[in-house]
Structure 1
Amino acid sequence: MNAKLPCDKTAIALVVSTDPVTGNTTEYHSIEDFAKGCIDEQNFKVKPESYIYSELPDYNCEECEALPLVNPDELTEVIGYGIRGTAKKYDTSQTPCKEIDSKKVSFSIGVAGVFASNTNNKYTPYVLGTDNIDLFVKLAKAGEAIVLHKDIDAAYQIINNGMPESIFRMMVGFNSSKHNQDLFVQVNESFKTLSTNQIKHFFTEKKQQIIKSIESDSFVQPQVEEMPADRKVEKLDTWQTPISLRNDTLIQSKPYPIDELPEIVRNAILAAAEYAQAPLAMAAQCVLASISFLAQGKVNAPRETNREGMPCSLFFLTEGGSGGRKSSCQKLVELPIREHERQQNDEYKKVLGDWNARSKTIESKEFAQWALDNPKPTDPTSIFSDITIETLTKFYIKGVVKNASLSSDEAGQFFDGHTMKGDTAKSALGAFTKLFDDGYCQRNRASSDDNGTAYDVRLTFNLLGQRAVLAGALNDPTLRGQGFLPRFILTAPESIAGQRTHTVEFRQKLKNSHNDPRLTKFWNRCRDILKDELPVLLNDSGEVPYFPVMQLSNEAELLDLEFYNECEILQGSGKQFEFMQPFASRANELARRLGTVLAYFENKSEIDSEIMQAACAVIRHSLSEWFRYSDIEVADESDSEKLIKYLLTKCKKEKTDRLQKTVAMKGAPLQIRKSKEFDPCLNELIEFNYVRLVTINRSTYIELNPALLK
């Protein structure tokens, strides 16, 4: 954010905010203090409990838009803020306070200036001018250097006069500028859906295109080309290659590094993927989540700042389409764990039946003492597909569960459930992250028998879900910013639907899948771990769990150090993970945890270099998935893609390379038959070298790139 202009603190207060509940008054004497106390600069919003409008001192301006005003002669200097939105008045005599009035407000704090953001970075590769306030807010939040003025040409003059010559200048808007049109970038409504990474990629490409056009002195706005009626098809080399309407480099998922994993784990992944006919990455996540659940209650991961280490629990998140075999893959991998759960549940029902029968024979006056000496059996279930954090915390505190897994192939149940919505979301996120970090949870509720604290408890997540369900959650700034999602190991493999045909041999092999040595070796190791009892120590308060810390070998220590430095460097300005710091900064910890899980499963006494190398490879894969995920299109197909498919089909059917524009518009997909929807799609196809406009006998035709027809 730009530097703030200080004010004289002996002068009259710049802003006075009085809390109507407490009566406390806060005075702000400088823009810097005001911004710190009242402005959420990252989100360009007014903070809660800000009664900052002098004409309506009893109205809370919380969540109003707050746009920085800068000195037009020194664009690095913030001299005020423009506030707009809805201010609300509350009846503070009742709890909770009830809204009794609201008013639209638009006012400024400080000195009048020019709306601008991020113009203090002298190393920014370009700066933008716009005349649209919604675009300004969108681009400012994305970290772009941008200036707003109601006249876009005036905005350009401001950046031209106020920014160093080394910084490239462009204009962006919905309506073209009058001057310097070669520097204008036109966008449509779909631009508002772009992610931060897509925006940066978009303007970087536009800058390069403009520079190339200017340097070659060949830049012209798209023109309709006049052609004779008998003109022949142009040679193929007069057209540029069509550019994909989707950013395939971001959509393509890198292969999951299963070759780096230990042999038993790797073979189990290959077998599970083969029999469930699921992507390898999905099978890998299910296998690793299973051994995380098995290991988390037996051993701790190394942590430099604590000789007792940290939980080795891991959170896994896998995207898979409908029919992607998520459920089949999960059931096959978790077979011995589910068998163990079923066996324990059968024993529990028997013991519970005996307890209930015996309890009926105890006289009422003796029952309390008898129940104390003979506690009622508790449900041994530890793998849950749908459970709230409140219930899970209660189970931990009561000692019903110590080592749990939330394993579901319907991630939507979790992200769209009560726990992760509304007022409960923030407290739930805090509870989940505390469980992950320290194996600790606490509950304090008025008039509740379930209050208390639980130590040394563990939780593994294995969530699988469809893109349509996950996309909103995975790009949610709260889930990202509060550190919940950065704790997950993510993969989003491409669907293999259409490649899962069966042969007679495969059907026969499928019948004997439970005898496949690749699976039986994995399952037998899982069963051995399930039989092992967690060691305990005796102290003054009795028996407590003992979690030995799995240490790194000397060679693994060096790999760990290299991986830490790698992730740290990539968080720097202009580097790959500059805008993914919460994810990259936690990568080293996740690698240690995964290394611990793999080493324990392999029955090793320490994390050796091969195990650590495998763990780092998996976390690198996850980071690359998080990096590209915000740029994945959720929509099945854009309108531009639908239009080119229609044009191509129509031209092939009529054995021509061009269609009259009016005819094409009438036959286009229904949602883009009007010019206001049709023209932006057509312009995109022109820009990406799919089509061009030609005039023949005073009629406008859409001509297809011959490469498409071949």
Structure 2
Amino acid sequence: MLTSQFSKGESYVSTPQAEPTPLFGALRASEPVPWDAFGRLAEVVRAISTLTQAPDEIAMQSVLIVVSLATQAHADAEFLFGSVPLSCFALTVAQSGERKSACDHLASTAVERFDVERGRKYYHEKRKFEAAKLAYQKGRRRKRNDDFDVIDDDIKKVAVDLPPEPPLYPAMRISDPTIEGLFRQLEIGFPSVAVMTDEGGQFFGGHSMKKENALKTAAGFSKLWDGASLTKSRASSEPVQLNGKRVSLHLMIQPGVAQSVVGDPIMKDQGLLSRVLIAWPESKIGSRVIRKSEARSAEEAEAKSVLAAFDKRITELLNADLPIHPGTRADLQPRVLALSEKARKQLEDFYNRVEQASVKGGAFEYMTGFAAKSPEMAVRIAGIQTIFADETAPEVTAETMENGIGMMEWYLSEMLRITDTGRPNEELRAAEELRSWVCDKWHKDFIDKRTMMKYGPGHLRDGNTLTRCIQKLEEHGWLVRGAGKQVICGAVSRTFWRVVRSGALQ
């Protein structure tokens, strides 16, 4: 019900009798990082958080994917149904200034150093290959049609006169790939890689995720997560089959991009989002004060020592011999980590709990895809921790399986929290920005469009955009249109609104 409010005989405005409604749900607070479940890696996460003062979740995601990259080539893990790779996909949501890049750099120092060192060696080997290729071609021209070599005095056999093979491209970290580019790198390069970038918005807004390419990209990454064979067929070239490849993924994106990604029906229906571990931490901007003290210096020194030990271990894993399939140069043939009897029982119990919570009306009703894959992801995380501790370990123990399950319980709660928030479109997000500015930054009771255009958020100062935002705020009760005239910023306005702030009616 609305009543009329008159002001000095000049104007009146309808006064709402109910609180305005939110444009979309707000994220509730996240659960604390599951330190106990991260095992030996917990101290590494704490070290990065200490040095960067970034949210713990960002450091946790960066460490998990670097360790996934370092271990995924060495083993697969036994699951309830067959075996699964140790590869993990992660999505970290945080705005600019949360020190995503700093966390990523500290976690992946060993990987970056590995790529630089192997890259220098690669270019030297490539020059030798080009020389050998040229010599081979000259030799073939001289030899012409002579395809036989004398093996002994009595026997002639067809010579196996193959050209020299180029060296494998050694880079393990990929920053901005298309799915075609990733396939090409796996074809000519190292069989174990990770796509890691703190500019994930460029990936989702780039060529790979355009409407005509999104389904192909999502399907390709899903197959890579599964560890499945990949076939690429083109009319202009011979078909290529990729076997024994492992890929991890870590994309860092801003909240605005995240809303569109989480709400993308292609990403959901195809199943890529069901394979991604999402973390959306609360901001720490404004609380990261630099304090100089002996205690702080000691904390930083300890953190650097922890990271040095971590880098050493990652380097050992990256330089270890890989289980390559006989007769190939770069097809992995990882052994399978067995589940101990107790670990299998723990996994079965976790599987049953998740399955029961996925029924209609259950906690995971609206995220069944992710929930269904959570037992498998728990095994992957347990396998990663096992190989990080000892690459020769024969099985996943009950203690490590408990860690994997504990981490997946956290990721389930995080996905549930994000899913419960709702998935506003771009128009609603723009309207929310305007609402926030009007209610929090504009401290007067009345406002008009001219004032919003002059002082409001810069990227919303477009007539059509502003009109649509105002309409949304009217629909939800944050702006109530007045009649008559009102003086605003020294000018008379005949089209204006009363600002309704939450709690003002109480």
- Identify the TM-score tier after normalising by the shorter chain: 0.7 to 0.9
In the superposition, relative to structure 1, how do residues 370 and 348 fare at CA in structure 2: closer, same or farther (>3 Å)? farther
Q: 1:179-198 to 2 correspondence within 5 Å? A: none
| 2:322 paired residue number | 534
Contact 1:397 1:442 in 2 (8 A): no
**Residue in 2 aligned with 1:340?**
114
- Return the offset for 1:532: 1.7
- Partner AA of 2:172 in structure 1: S
Tell me by how many angstroms 1:325 deviates. 1.2
Matched, 1:412 2:201: yes
Task: Give the Cα separation in 2 of the matches to 1:372 and 1:592.
Answer: 43
Tell me if 1:473 matches 2:264. no
| Corresponding position: 1:575 with 2:362 | yes
Distance 1:521 1:676, change over 3 A: closer
Match of 2:58 among 272, 282, 285: 282
User: What's the CA shift for 1:490?
Assistant: 0.6
Amino acid at match of 1:260: A
Alignment of 1:18-417 (within 5 A): 221-223=1-3, 245=22, 250-263=27-40, 265-306=41-82, 309-357=83-131, 359=133, 364-366=138-140, 372=162, 374-398=164-188, 400-417=189-206
Q: State the partner residue of 1:464.
A: 252
| Cα offset, 1:707, TM superposition | 7.2
1:491-529, Cα deviation, whole Å (9 max, x unpaired): 011221111222334999499769722212222221221
Contact 1:483 1:582 in 2 (8 A): yes
Q: Secondary structure at the match of 2:376?
A: helix
Distance in structure 1 (CA, Å) of the matches to 2:76 and 2:191: 14
Report the TM-score, using the length of structure 2 for normalisation. 0.77
Structure 2: any 5+ residue segments left out of the alignment?
7-16, 144-158, 454-462, 481-496
Residues 254-263 or 669-678, more deviating? 669-678
Contact 1:571–1:578 (Cα < 8 Å) also in 2: yes
Q: 1:506 to 1:416 in 2, by over 3 A?
A: farther
Work out the CA distance in 2 between the residues paired with 1:371 and 1:469. Answer: 54
Question: Which residue of structure 2 lines up, in the alignment, with residue 619 of structure 1?
Answer: 408
Deviations 1:438-469 (A, max 9, x none): 342111111304x2212111100011111223
Instruction: Please name the residue that 2:492 is paired with.
Output: none
2:211 to 411, 422, 426: 422
Alpha-carbon distance change, 505 to 574 in structure 1, aligned in 2, over 3 angstroms? same
Count of aligned pairs: 454
1:650-689 matches, cutoff 5 A: 650=444, 669=452, 677=470, 681=474, 684=477
Residue 305 of structure 2 corresponds to residue 517 of structure 1: yes
- State the alpha-carbon separation in 2 of the partners of residues 616 and 452 from structure 1: 38
Partner of 2:240: 452
Letter in 1 for 2:237: S
Answer 1 or 2: higher relative contact order, Cα 8 Å, separation at least 6: 2
Q: Give the secondary structure class of the aligned counterpart of 2:338.
A: coil
Q: 1:503 to 1:708 in 2, by over 3 A?
A: farther
Following superposition, the deviation at residue 327 of structure 1 comes to 1.3
8 Å CA contact 1:275, 1:513 repeated in 2: no
Contact kept, 8 Å, 1:599 with 1:607, in 2: the verdict is yes
Note the C-alpha offset of 1:489. Answer: 0.6
* Kept in 2: contact 1:479–1:485 (CA 8 A): yes
Shift of 1:629: 2.8
Instruction: Label 1:376 to 1:686 Cα distance change in 2 as closer, same or farther (>3 A).
Output: closer
Report the CA distance shift for 1:702/1:460 in structure 2 as closer, same or farther (over 3 A): closer
Greater Rg by CA: 1
Structure 2: which amino acid aligns with 1:576? A
Unpaired runs of at least 5, structure 1: 1-220, 227-239, 651-658, 688-700
Structure 2 Cα separation of the partners of residues 578 and 382 of structure 1: 38
Secondary structure of 2:336's aligned partner:
coil
TM-score after normalising by structure 1: 0.56
Q: Distance in 2 between matches of 1:706 and 1:448?
A: 63
Residue 305 to residue 355, structure 1, CA distance change in 2 (3 Å): same
SS in 2 for 1:550: strand
Question: Per the alignment, do residues 305 and 557 of structure 1 end up closer, same or farther by CA in structure 2, a change over 3 Å counting?
Answer: closer
8 Å CA contact 1:311–1:437 kept in 2: the answer is: yes
Residue 152 of structure 2 is matched in structure 1 by none
Deviation at 1:224, TM superposition (A): 5.5
Deviations 1:51-98 (A, max 9, x none): xxxxxxxxxxxxxxxxxxxxxxxxxxxxxxxxxxxxxxxxxxxxxxxx
> Residue 495 of structure 1 aligns to which amino acid in structure 2?
S
